[in-house]
Structure 1
Amino acid sequence: MEFHKILIAIDNNPSAERIAMNGLQLARQLNAEVALVSIVDPDDPTDQDPPTPRELDDMMEHNLNRSQLAVIENVFKTFPVKSFVKTGTPYKVILETAERWGANIIVMGTHGRKGLPHLLLGSVAEDVIRHSKKTVIVIPVTS
């Protein structure tokens, strides 16, 4: 199997650069194209704020765009990279974006939560792994 396109899923956590660096290193080794995807999750309870849901989504999208630009400037520099910021259920959006863009590999991070936090919060990485028909590389990170 040949790998020509790598989709790197990042959020606006400090670990995004580490995940992007791993994805870039792989892309260089495989001479592959790269795209970043970040997801606005309207159902994320940590993102509740007094603004309307639409205003909140707009603010989250703006923050993710800013975060992606910082990662592109700090990690990718002159390496060409596509950028997607979408709204929806994170694992579904990652899989849909990978399918539509034609990615062969998905690179993403996981915070490695265990026990009760894992049961309550779920795991985007775990959902992507369970439902993906593509190769998934998970980078363990700490918050």
Structure 2
Amino acid sequence: MEFHKILIAIDNCKSAEVVALNGLQIAQQYHAEIALVSIIDPEANWGGEQPTPREMDDMIDGNFNTSQQNVIDKVFKNYPVKTFIEQGKPYEIILKIADEWGADVIVMGTHGRKGLSHLLIGSVAEEVIRHTKKTLVVIPVSESNEA
């Protein structure tokens, strides 16, 4: 099996480096192109008031752009990486970017929550699994990997 394009979905957490490193290892093995995608979910629980559209744009330009650049600097160094930062439901955006960019593989992390927290939070990885025919590599990340 040949892989030419690998899409790595990362969030704004410390575990993003673990996920990115796994994606890089696959890309190096196949000499594949890499793209990173980060998603801002406007429907997420923000612990208070929902951000305004302007605040969402600021997050894209600020925190998420900086977070992606930090991962690129730490993990990819001289390996060329395309980046996407989008707003929407995370699993839908991952699938959309994977299709539009022509990814052969999607690499993403999962917190592996079980029980009630899984039911309440839902799982982006589970939704991607249900809705894609692409090869999917799911990297378990623990709470200790979180910032």
Cα separation, partners in 2 of 1:21 and 1:52, compared to 1, 3 Å: closer
Task: Report sequence identity in percent.
Answer: 60
Q: Normalising by structure 2, what TM-score?
A: 0.92
CA distance in structure 2 between the aligned counterparts of 1:2 and 1:50, rounded to whole angstroms: 46
Match of 1:78, SS? coil
Structure 2's unaligned 5+ residue stretches are none
CA RMSD of aligned residues (A): 1.3
Equivalent positions of 1:1-143 (< 5 A) are: 1-45=1-45, 47-50=46-49, 52-61=51-60, 62-143=62-143
- 8 Å contact 2:8–2:23 — kept in the other structure? yes
Query: Structure 1 stretches (4+) deviating beyond 6 angstroms?
Result: none
CA distance in structure 2 between the aligned counterparts of 1:16 and 1:26, rounded to whole angstroms: 16
> What per-residue deviation string (whole Å, max 9, x for no partner) do you get for residues 67-103 of structure 1?
0000000000000000000000000000000000000
Structure 1's unaligned 5+ residue stretches are none
Q: How many residues align?
A: 142
**Per-residue deviation, 1:52:** 4.6
